[in-house]
Structure 1
C-alpha cells in the first residue's frame, strides 16, 4: 500500500507520523523503522521530535533514497557488491583508463582537441565530468543507455530533434556528442562485462537492475518476502527521480509506504503557469486578449507560479499514480501577520488577495546592507531586538541560511563571538547570543586539513617563505618538531633577516638563488659557530643572530625543511596507488603530532587516504597517478565531510541553504539574497544531452533554489528575514536584490490595501549617526558611550595645563620639533606613535633595488676604503641583498659609480678626525634665558662638512639650518659650511649665505618660543615641500586657502589624525608660522653642483 499525506505544515506531518508509529507499532521490536530523508538536518530534527513525542526514539534509521534503494537491491540480489560497479568512483577510474586508449578514434576528436596532450590532471577533470554525466543518465535517462548498448544512436538523436526548442544549427554538434558518448559508454560496458559474470553485470547495471528487481518482486518466495521491510516512511522530500518513485511504488505492493508531502496549497495547482510562460504561449499562439485574460484568471497564486515548479512536477507525479491520499491542511494562526496572510493566500491558491500591514508588523523583514560584515552586524542587532520584544523566543528558534555559508563564516565568528556571557567586569552581557556554524567545508575550519592541502600542492609551489611559515604555524606541526610559539617568532624574524624569500635550493631557478631556503639555512647553521665578520666559509656567509645557543632552533627548522624537501622530491614523479597510500600515511605521521585535540582530524585524513585508494583499487587501476590528481581527490573526499554536528544544538543555527531542509523555525533568516547570486547560476555542461531534451522530473539548480525560497518562507512561523547587498561599498549606489526578493516585494505591494513594504537601507558603518535616531536599531552601546564622551570632551586643540618650565633645551629635541612639529607633539605630549612596522616577507626575487635598499647600501659603501668595496659586494650577494644575475652586476656598477663621486668630494675629510663640538648656548627669550645644549658633529678643522647618500630632504635642510644658526650664536669659528648629497647620480651640496649673530639669535628665539609653547598647545607649520611653499606664494593668494591646499600634498598619519579630530584650524596662523620659520632659511639657502 502506498499512502501520501498532504499537509501544508511540517509539524502536522510529524504529528501524523508519530500517531502512526504510536498506534501501529512495529510487531518486530528488533526491526529498524526506516524513514527516508534527503538531508542530515531533517534527520536530526525528526529524531529530536520523535524523541520528544514518543519519550524515546530508538531503532530508527534515516537513509537517503539512493542508499536505501541499493540496500533493497542487495536484499534480493545478495550477489551484488556493497559498492556498485556503476557508481561514480568506479566509472571515473575506468574512464581514466579507457579514454587515452581511444583518443585516436575519429569520434573522439572533440576530446582529443580538448586534452591536446595535456597532463593527467586535465584528463582526470574531464573524466570526472563524464562519469558524473553517465551517473545522471543512469538515474534520469536509463533508456538512452540501453539504446546505445543496442547500437541505436539515432533514437536519442530523434528525441532531441523532435523537441520544440531544438535549433537546426546544433544538429551536427549534438550528433558528434552522441557518437563519442555512446562509443565510450559501450566500451565502459564491455570492460565491466569482462570483469564480472553476466548475472552480476545485469544486477549491477541500474538500467537493467530496476527491471530485474520488478520481475523479482513479482516472483518472491516466502523467505524473500520476509526480507522486505514491513513499512517505509518518506519524510521531508519534495522531489524524487521518476525511476526512484516507480521502484517505491512497485515495492508498495509488499509493504506499506507512507510518503509525507508538504503541499503549499490545499487546492490543485498542478497546471499553474508562471506569468512569463503565459506571455510566451500567448505570443506563440497569437491569443486574443480575452483568451489571455482567461489564462491569467486561472493562473492562481503568483508566488506558486514563480517558485513552485519543482514541487508542482512531483505533485503531479503523485496525483497521477494509483495511491491513497490523506489531506491534513490547517489554517495558519495569527492571521493578522503579513507573513501568515501570504501563507494563507498560497494555501487557498488565491490569485488576488487583500493584505493588511500594521506598523508594528515585523513578520516580513527585508534589509539592505553594504557588505557581508554589515549584514551580520545588522542581523545581530535585529535578533537582539527580537529577543527583547518576545521573551519566549530563544536562540534555538532561529535559523540563518545562506547559499554560501563559507563566505559568511569569518564575519559570523567575528560579530557573534564579540560578546561573551559575562563582560570584562564579570557582568551578564545581554548581547551574547549562542550560535553554531554548520555545513562549512572542513578545510575552511581546520588548520591541519588546510595545511595538508598545502603539502599536496608543493609540486607547483615556489617554496615562498610566507607559505612555509604558514605550515610551520600549525600547532600540530610545531609540536611534531618541538617548536614553541616563541621559537616560531624567532625563526620568522631570522628567515626575514637572512634574506629567505622563495626557492628550495640555490639551483631552483635559472640563476644562483641566494634568497633560497638552502642558502638561508646554511647561513643560520653556520652562524651557530661563526660570526659574519669572520668572512664567508665555502661561499656561505654566517648569520649573526643564530650564533651560540640558538643553534638548536636553527636545527629544528633545518629538519622541517629537510622533510619538506624529501616529500617535494617524491611528488615530482607519478606513483602507483599503493605507493601513494604508503607515502601519504607516512607524511601524515611525519608532519603532525597526534594528540587528544586532533585525534579525530588525523583519523579523518587517514580514512580519506584509504577511501580514495580503495576506489582506485576496486577497478584494478594500476597506472601511475600524478600528485595533482591525488590532491584533487583528497580535496573532494575531505570537503564532502562538511561540519554538521552543530546543527540543531540549541543555539542560533547558521547553515547552508540546502534542498529539503525546510524545518519549521519561529524565525527564518536568509543572507546573501543578491541579484545574480540567488537563484544560483549553474554553468551547463556543454556535452550534457539532457539539456536538449528536458522532461518532467529533471533537476535544475535555479528551479531548486526557487522552491528553496518558497519552502523557507513557508517554514517561518513568526518572522521571515531577508538581507542582501543593496548598496555599493564604493559609491553607495543602489544594487538590486535577488529576483525572488523583488517578486516577493512586488506581490506584497500589489495585494496590500494600504501602506507598502520596502527594504530597510542600513548605514555603511556601525557607528553611523543614523543609529542615534529612532528609526534604526543598534545595541552597540560602546558607540553611544563614545558619542556621549565626545560631547563631554574638550576640543582636540585645547591647551594642556603644565606647570613645568624649562631652563635647558636639548638641541636634538628642538630640531626634531622644527622638522615635524605634529609628530613631535603626538610623541612627546600625547604619547602616541603611528609607526608602520612591516613584518611581511617578500616573496619575489630582486630585480632592482628599492630607494631604501639603495640608500642603505650606499651609506655603508661611502665609509669603506676602495679595497674593501669588492669584498663588501660579495658579502651582500651571499646575503641575497643584491638583484639577480646581470641586474646585480648593473646595480653594483651604478652604486660604485655614485659613491665614487661622493667619495672624491669627501676624500680630504674622510681621512681626518671628525670633531664633536659641545654646545651650551644661552638664548634670550621674553623674560628668561634658556640654555640650548647638545653636540654638533661634522667639524673638520675649520670646515663643517656633513653628507647624505640620498636626495636632500626637507628635514636635512632644517637640520643644517639649525646647526648653522647655533654655530653662529655660539661663536664657533668655521670657514666652510656644506652638506653634500646625491641626486640623480650627481653630487650636490647646500650652504647658507652669511647671517648676523643677532639675526641668528632672533630666529632661534622664534623656534624656542614655539617649542616651549608646544608643551601647552599644538604649534605647527608646513614642513614638507618648504621651498615650493615659500617661493610659490603670492600676495594675491589667500593665506588660509593656500596653506590648506598645501596640506593636501602632505602624506602624514599625524596630519590625518588632526583632520579626523577637528576642522577648527587657524590656517592663517599656520601659514604665518611657516613663513616665520622658513622664509629666512630659504632666503639664505644656496644649492650648488660639485
Structure 2
C-alpha cells in the first residue's frame, strides 16, 4: 500500500479489519494519519482509497481513537445510506468492543440539525418543505396558468395533484442547484431560460409572496454567513462524512465554511490512484481500466474535481499486485490505469461470470445454483459474506422467496427428489407497500370509490387478519365466505341490482333466518322482499353471516365518508379514527399500524405547515399516502446474518467476498429516466448537476470494486416465449468489451465467450445434471428427478393410481360415502391421498350476468322443481336467487325456458320427499344410511339437468340397497327423472348378491383405485349388448371413444380428477373389462331410459 498525506500529521500504527469465516482478523499496516489537535486551525481533511474497508480502518485508527474534549459529545459520522451506517457500526464495534455514542445521520438530516443548531429552532422550512410545497401548488393550480390550463381542463384532482407534485420536486431541485434563478424570479427578473420559465416564475413568485419563513436556499446562505462570523457557536468538535459519493455545490460551500470552525473529515471511495480528471481526452482503447473508468466514472470525476482544492489530502491505495484472476486484475487496471497487455484467461477462472437466463425466475434459480457451487468449493465461505443486489427489489423479492424459501433445512440435497440445500437469507429494501399487505390493504380501502365493489377485490380485504378480526371473522372462515358469496350471487356493486352486495347479503341473512322453501307474503313463493334465501344456511352460521353483513355496511359508510372533501388536518384526524375502526391491533401488526399512524400525523403537520385551508378531495390524499408509504422501505434485512438481498443504491456496495447482481437487462439498468419537459435544469445543465444515468454507472463501478473474490452478473438474455436473443444492460456490454480488450482464452478466442454463460429455459434440463458438463450444475433433487424422467423418451411417470395405501378397509360402511365413491371414483381416491380439488379455490365472478348456463341452469331447475303449480314464477325466483340476468332480459329467458322446463317440472311434482333409514348386513358387512324420496312406487330421484353416467350408477346402487332392505308396503323399483329423460330401474331378483359385488369393489378401492370410469364403463357395457354388431371389439372402441372425447364432448380422460389419477394412461385393460361385465351389464339389463315427454 502507498500513502501520501498533507498537513499536520504523525505516524501511528494502523490496523485493517478483514472478515474471514465469521471472525474479525487484524492486519497491521503502516499509516500516516493527521492528529485532530484542538489547538491547531481546523481544516477539511480528505481521505481517499480504493477500498472501503481501508477507509473504515482509517476512521477507527486515525480519528475515533482520539477522544473528544467532551467525552459525552456524540460523534457525528454522516453516511449516504443507512446500510452503510450499520456496516460501519459493526466495524467500530469489532475494533473497540462497542459502538456507542455515535450517530450515523444522512446528509439531509445532519444539515437540518446544523441549521437549527446555528440559526435556532425557528429556522425551519415551514411552507417550503417538499410536501408542503406540493400541497400549496395543488391549491394554486385550482386556477392554473394559461400554459397548464389545457392539461388540467378535465378537472381531475388526481391529475392536478400529480402535476403539483412534479412541479414541487422541480422547484426543490432549483433550491439546491439553481438558487440564483429563484432569487432573480423573486426580484421579478427573467433568466431567459425559455418558454416554460414564465409560468414557473409566476408560480414561484406567488409561493414566495405567501411565505413568512425562509426556504432552503435562504437558510443555507444564512448558515454560511453565520459560520463565517467568528462569534462562538455550539458546534461539535469534529464531524466525519463517510462514503459520500456526491454533494451539491451549495452543500459543499456549507462544509467548506464549517471546516474553518471545526475539523471536517471526508472519507471518499476513489477507484483510481492516478490522476483521471482528463481521462476522456487521453483514453487508450486498449486499456480495460481506462475504458471502464471513462464509461462509468462520470459522476465520480465531477465529485473529485469539486474536492481538488481541499486543505488536507490523504491517499491510501492498495497497489499490491493482484491475484492471477480476471476480477482482481480488472480492479487493478482501474486502480492503476495501466495495461499489462493482453493476458490469458485460464479455463478455471470463475472470478467474474455473466449469466444469461430466460427471465427473472431463471436468474434467481441460476443464482442459487451458482452460490451453492461456490459454497461447495470453498467451505470457509459464510452466507453473510455474500450480497445479492438488484435495481428494484420489489421486482425480484417474490422470486427470491420462491427459490430460496423452499429448500431443505439441512445441507444435504443429494436425496432423490429433495429440494436444494438451504441457504439462510434476508431481503432488505422492499418498499413499504411490498413489505406489508396491511399497508396495501389500507390504500385499497381508499380506492374503494374508484371501483365497483367487485367481489374478489373486497374479499381480498378480508384476507387481512387485522381487518377480518374487527368483524369477528377468522382466516379459516374465508373459503366458506367465498362459497356463500358465489351462492348468494354477489358479483359487483354496492346496491341497485340482483347481483349487488346489498342484495346478496340479504339472501344470506334470509338463509339463516328463513328456512329454504318457506313461503313469505301472499305470493306463495319462497321470497322475501323479492329475494330468495341462500340454501344450506341455518343459525349455526349466524355469526359469520352477521360479520360479513357488518363488513358490507361499514364499507358503505366509509365510501360516504370519503366522498366529502376536507382540509388536510381534518383528513389526518378522520383517517386516524377510521384506521382504529378498520383494524384490530395485534403484536404482529403493531409496527405497521404505527407506521400508518405516523404517516397520518405527518399529513396533518404538512397541512399546518403549508397553511393551505382549502378542502382537498380523496384522490389527492390517496396519491400522497401512496407515495409516502411506498417511500418507506424495510431495511431490516440488511446485514442480518444470511445472504443479503438488497437494492442497488448509492454506497450500498459494501465489500463482500461474493457479490451478485440480478436484473441487468437492457433498459432496466441504468434505468431510462426522462426529466419532465418543463425541467429547466435539464435544458440548461451545469457542472455538478446530478444525472441519473451517470449516478447508476458510477454505482455499478462501486459494485465491481466491492467484490473481493467473485462477481456474478445476471440478465435476461433470451425471451422465454420464443427464445429470441435479448441484449444485456449497457454496463454488461461495456464490461464484455473491456474484458475482450485485455484478455483472451487459451485457444485465442475472445475471453467474453468464457465468462458469458447461457442457460437453459427449464431448470430440469438434462445438461445441468450430466457429469462433466460445462454448464452450471443444479443442486435441486426435484429437478434431477424430472430430468431423469425426461431422459426416458416417451416413457410416462407412473400414475397415482399405482399407489397402494396401507390400512384395512372398513366393515361398517356409510351409504353416503359409498354413493360418493360410485359417482366420482377418481375424486374419491384422490381425497384418500390427501389431494383435493377444492371449490374454495375458484375465482369469484365480478362481471354482470348476460347468459344462463352450467351451474346456474341446474340451480334454476332445482328452483323450478319447487314451483308446484306456478311455473310462470320462474323469473321471480331466478332473479330473487341471482340465477337470472337482471331486468327484462332475464324475464324473457325465463319465459322461454319455462316451456322447456314444464315437462320435467310436471314429472318432479309427483315425487315424494320422504326418507327411509336402512341398516342391513351383506356378506358380513354393515351398510347404513338414508334413502331419500321413497313412496309406495319405490324410489323417486330428481336430477336437475341431463342424466349423467354417474347419476345413473348412483340410482342403480340405491335400487340395489332398496331391494336388499326389502321394506314392506312399497315397490323396490327406482325412477330417475332428468330434464329430458327418465330412467326406470327394475328391482333385480337377487339384489343382495349384486350389492355385495359393489361393496367388495368399494372396500378394494381403499387400497388401490379400481378402473371404474362411469362414462367409459357404460359405453363398454352398451357395446357388448346393444346396437349393430355388438361384442368386445365394438365395446372396446366405444370405451376408447368415451375416454378420448371429440369436438362436441370432453373425453373422460380429460376430466381434471381422472387425469390427475391416471395421468393420461387409459385403464381400459382386462380389469376394466371384467368390472364392466360383472357390475355394469346387470345394471343395463334392468335399466330403461325413455323420453320424459312420452
User: What's the TM-score once normalised by structure 2's chain length?
Assistant: 0.77
Does the residue aligned with 1:261 lie in a helix, a strand or coil? Answer: strand
Cα distance change, pair 469–1009 in 1 and its aligned pair in 2 (3 A) = closer
Tell whether 2:107 aligns with 1:118.
no
Q: What whole-Å deviation, never above 9, does each CA across 1:998-1039 have from its counterpart, x for those lacking one?
A: xxxxxxxxx999999999997699957999999999x9xx99
Tell whether 2:754 aligns with 1:757.
yes
Aligned counterpart for 1:221 among listed residues 230, 252, 258:
230
Work out whether residues 1019 and 1042 of structure 2, in 8 Å CA contact, stay in contact via their aligned partners in 1.
no
Report 1:817-828 matches (<5 A). Answer: none
Tell whether 2:366 aligns with 1:378.
yes
Name 2:134's counterpart in structure 1: 92
Q: What whole-Å deviation, never above 9, does each CA across 1:58-113 have from its counterpart, x for those lacking one?
A: 33222222333333334443374333542212211221222224x3xxxx233111
Report 1:200-279 matches (<5 A). Answer: 200-201=213-214, 204=215, 206=217, 208-218=218-228, 220-223=229-232, 226-273=233-280
Q: Tell me how far apart the structure 2 counterparts of residues 20 and 1087 of structure 1 sit (CA, whole Å).
A: 101
Q: Tell me how far apart the structure 1 counterparts of residues 816 and 70 of structure 2 sit (CA, whole Å).
A: 95
Q: Tell me how far apart the structure 2 counterparts of residues 440 and 801 of structure 1 sit (CA, whole Å).
A: 46
Q: Tell me how far apart the structure 2 counterparts of residues 940 and 482 of structure 1 sit (CA, whole Å).
A: 45
Tell whether 2:739 aligns with 1:742.
no
Name 1:396's counterpart in structure 2: 384
Superposed displacement of residue 896, structure 1: 1.0
Name 1:169's counterpart in structure 2: none
Larger displacement relative to structure 2 (580-589 or 793-802): 793-802
Work out whether residues 400 and 654 of structure 1, in 8 Å CA contact, stay in contact via their aligned partners in 2.
yes
Name 1:565's counterpart in structure 2: 556
Superposed displacement of residue 812, structure 1: 13
Tell whether 2:88 aligns with 1:39.
no
Does the residue aligned with 1:115 lie in a helix, a strand or coil? Answer: coil
Q: What whole-Å deviation, never above 9, does each CA across 1:399-442 have from its counterpart, x for those lacking one?
A: 111111122223333333334757999x9999333222211122
Name 1:64's counterpart in structure 2: 106
Superposed displacement of residue 963, structure 1: 13
Report 1:783-822 matches (<5 A). Answer: none
Q: Tell me how far apart the structure 1 counterparts of residues 644 and 428 of structure 2 sit (CA, whole Å).
A: 7
Q: Tell me how far apart the structure 2 counterparts of residues 849 and 957 of structure 1 sit (CA, whole Å).
A: 25
Name 1:170's counterpart in structure 2: none
Superposed displacement of residue 8, structure 1: 0.8
Aligned counterpart for 1:344 among listed residues 332, 351, 365:
332
Cα distance change, pair 875–332 in 1 and its aligned pair in 2 (3 A) = farther
Q: Tell me how far apart the structure 1 counterparts of residues 540 and 633 of structure 2 sit (CA, whole Å).
A: 46
Does the residue aligned with 1:625 lie in a helix, a strand or coil? Answer: coil
Tell whether 2:890 aligns with 1:888.
yes
Work out whether residues 438 and 645 of structure 1, in 8 Å CA contact, stay in contact via their aligned partners in 2.
yes
Gaps of 5+ in 1: 158-174, 279-292, 919-933, 965-973, 998-1006
Tell whether 2:450 aligns with 1:460.
yes
Cα distance change, pair 866–41 in 1 and its aligned pair in 2 (3 A) = same
Q: What whole-Å deviation, never above 9, does each CA across 1:137-179 have from its counterpart, x for those lacking one?
A: 111222222333333335324xxxxxxxxxxxxxxxxx1x122
Does the residue aligned with 2:349 lie in a helix, a strand or coil? Answer: coil
Aligned counterpart for 2:173 among listed residues 136, 139, 143:
136
Work out whether residues 83 and 638 of structure 2, in 8 Å CA contact, stay in contact via their aligned partners in 1.
yes
Cα distance change, pair 662–530 in 1 and its aligned pair in 2 (3 A) = same
Q: Tell me how far apart the structure 2 counterparts of residues 881 and 420 of structure 1 sit (CA, whole Å).
A: 49
Q: Tell me how far apart the structure 1 counterparts of residues 198 and 253 of structure 2 sit (CA, whole Å).
A: 30
Work out whether residues 8 and 329 of structure 1, in 8 Å CA contact, stay in contact via their aligned partners in 2.
yes
Superposed displacement of residue 39, structure 1: 0.7
Q: Tell me how far apart the structure 2 counterparts of residues 736 and 1072 of structure 1 sit (CA, whole Å).
A: 62
Name 1:728's counterpart in structure 2: 719
Question: Aligned-residue CA RMSD in angstroms?
Answer: 5.6
Larger displacement relative to structure 2 (777-786 or 1011-1020): 1011-1020
Does the residue aligned with 1:249 lie in a helix, a strand or coil? Answer: helix
Superposed displacement of residue 856, structure 1: 2.7
Q: Tell me how far apart the structure 1 counterparts of residues 807 and 123 of structure 2 sit (CA, whole Å).
A: 93
Q: Tell me how far apart the structure 1 counterparts of residues 900 and 754 of structure 2 sit (CA, whole Å).
A: 72
Q: Tell me how far apart the structure 2 counterparts of residues 44 and 703 of structure 1 sit (CA, whole Å).
A: 26
Q: Tell me how far apart the structure 2 counterparts of residues 483 and 636 of structure 1 sit (CA, whole Å).
A: 31
Gaps of 5+ in 2: 1-42, 521-526, 747-752, 919-928, 960-970, 990-997
Superposed displacement of residue 30, structure 1: 3.2
Q: Tell me how far apart the structure 2 counterparts of residues 333 and 360 of structure 1 sit (CA, whole Å).
A: 20
Work out whether residues 476 and 594 of structure 1, in 8 Å CA contact, stay in contact via their aligned partners in 2.
yes
Cα distance change, pair 1043–307 in 1 and its aligned pair in 2 (3 A) = farther
Q: Tell me how far apart the structure 1 counterparts of residues 393 and 808 of structure 2 sit (CA, whole Å).
A: 60
Work out whether residues 272 and 299 of structure 1, in 8 Å CA contact, stay in contact via their aligned partners in 2.
no
Q: Tell me how far apart the structure 1 counterparts of residues 1055 and 473 of structure 2 sit (CA, whole Å).
A: 40
Report 1:1026-1045 matches (<5 A). Answer: none
Q: Tell me how far apart the structure 2 counterparts of residues 512 and 734 of structure 1 sit (CA, whole Å).
A: 52
Q: Tell me how far apart the structure 1 counterparts of residues 511 and 381 of structure 2 sit (CA, whole Å).
A: 66
Q: What whole-Å deviation, never above 9, does each CA across 1:916-963 have from its counterpart, x for those lacking one?
A: 9x9xxxxxxxxxxxxxxx999999999999997656767789999999
Bigger helix share: 1
Q: Tell me how far apart the structure 2 counterparts of residues 481 and 1021 of structure 1 sit (CA, whole Å).
A: 46
Cα distance change, pair 607–1041 in 1 and its aligned pair in 2 (3 A) = closer
Cα distance change, pair 392–891 in 1 and its aligned pair in 2 (3 A) = same
Q: Tell me how far apart the structure 2 counterparts of residues 665 and 36 of structure 1 sit (CA, whole Å).
A: 22
Q: Tell me how far apart the structure 2 counterparts of residues 1012 and 25 of structure 1 sit (CA, whole Å).
A: 85
Name 2:461's counterpart in structure 1: 471
Q: Tell me how far apart the structure 2 counterparts of residues 721 and 893 of structure 1 sit (CA, whole Å).
A: 69
Does the residue aligned with 1:156 lie in a helix, a strand or coil? Answer: coil
Name 1:9's counterpart in structure 2: 51
Aligned counterpart for 1:606 among listed residues 597, 612, 620:
597
Q: Tell me how far apart the structure 1 counterparts of residues 81 and 331 of structure 2 sit (CA, whole Å).
A: 24
Q: Tell me how far apart the structure 1 counterparts of residues 351 and 473 of structure 2 sit (CA, whole Å).
A: 55
Cα distance change, pair 1067–317 in 1 and its aligned pair in 2 (3 A) = farther
Q: Tell me how far apart the structure 2 counterparts of residues 1024 and 9 of structure 1 sit (CA, whole Å).
A: 74
Tell whether 2:869 aligns with 1:866.
yes
Q: Tell me how far apart the structure 2 counterparts of residues 1013 and 480 of structure 1 sit (CA, whole Å).
A: 49
Name 2:209's counterpart in structure 1: 190
Work out whether residues 243 and 651 of structure 2, in 8 Å CA contact, stay in contact via their aligned partners in 1.
yes
Tell whether 2:181 aligns with 1:149.
no
Work out whether residues 443 and 638 of structure 1, in 8 Å CA contact, stay in contact via their aligned partners in 2.
yes
Name 2:436's counterpart in structure 1: 446
Q: Tell me how far apart the structure 1 counterparts of residues 575 and 806 of structure 2 sit (CA, whole Å).
A: 69
User: What's the TM-score once normalised by structure 1's chain length?
Assistant: 0.78
Cα distance change, pair 423–566 in 1 and its aligned pair in 2 (3 A) = farther
Does the residue aligned with 2:900 lie in a helix, a strand or coil? Answer: helix
Does the residue aligned with 1:153 lie in a helix, a strand or coil? Answer: coil
Superposed displacement of residue 503, structure 1: 2.8
Larger displacement relative to structure 2 (760-769 or 720-729): 760-769
Work out whether residues 675 and 739 of structure 1, in 8 Å CA contact, stay in contact via their aligned partners in 2.
yes
Tell whether 2:315 aligns with 1:327.
yes
Work out whether residues 884 and 890 of structure 2, in 8 Å CA contact, stay in contact via their aligned partners in 1.
yes
Superposed displacement of residue 460, structure 1: 2.3
Does the residue aligned with 2:142 lie in a helix, a strand or coil? Answer: helix
Q: What whole-Å deviation, never above 9, does each CA across 1:843-892 have from its counterpart, x for those lacking one?
A: 3332322322113312442574332651x543443333321122221222
Aligned counterpart for 2:690 among listed residues 681, 699, 706:
699
Tell whether 2:200 aligns with 1:181.
yes
Q: What whole-Å deviation, never above 9, does each CA across 1:581-630 have from its counterpart, x for those lacking one?
A: 32122112222233444333332222211111111111221111112222
Does the residue aligned with 1:366 lie in a helix, a strand or coil? Answer: strand
Tell whether 2:417 aligns with 1:431.
no
Report 1:1016-1031 matches (<5 A). Answer: none
Aligned counterpart for 1:899 among listed residues 861, 884, 901:
901
Equivalences, count: 1009
Work out whether residues 523 and 540 of structure 1, in 8 Å CA contact, stay in contact via their aligned partners in 2.
no
Q: Tell me how far apart the structure 2 counterparts of residues 417 and 294 of structure 1 sit (CA, whole Å).
A: 47
Work out whether residues 715 and 728 of structure 2, in 8 Å CA contact, stay in contact via their aligned partners in 1.
yes
Work out whether residues 467 and 583 of structure 2, in 8 Å CA contact, stay in contact via their aligned partners in 1.
yes
Superposed displacement of residue 663, structure 1: 0.9
Cα distance change, pair 358–873 in 1 and its aligned pair in 2 (3 A) = same
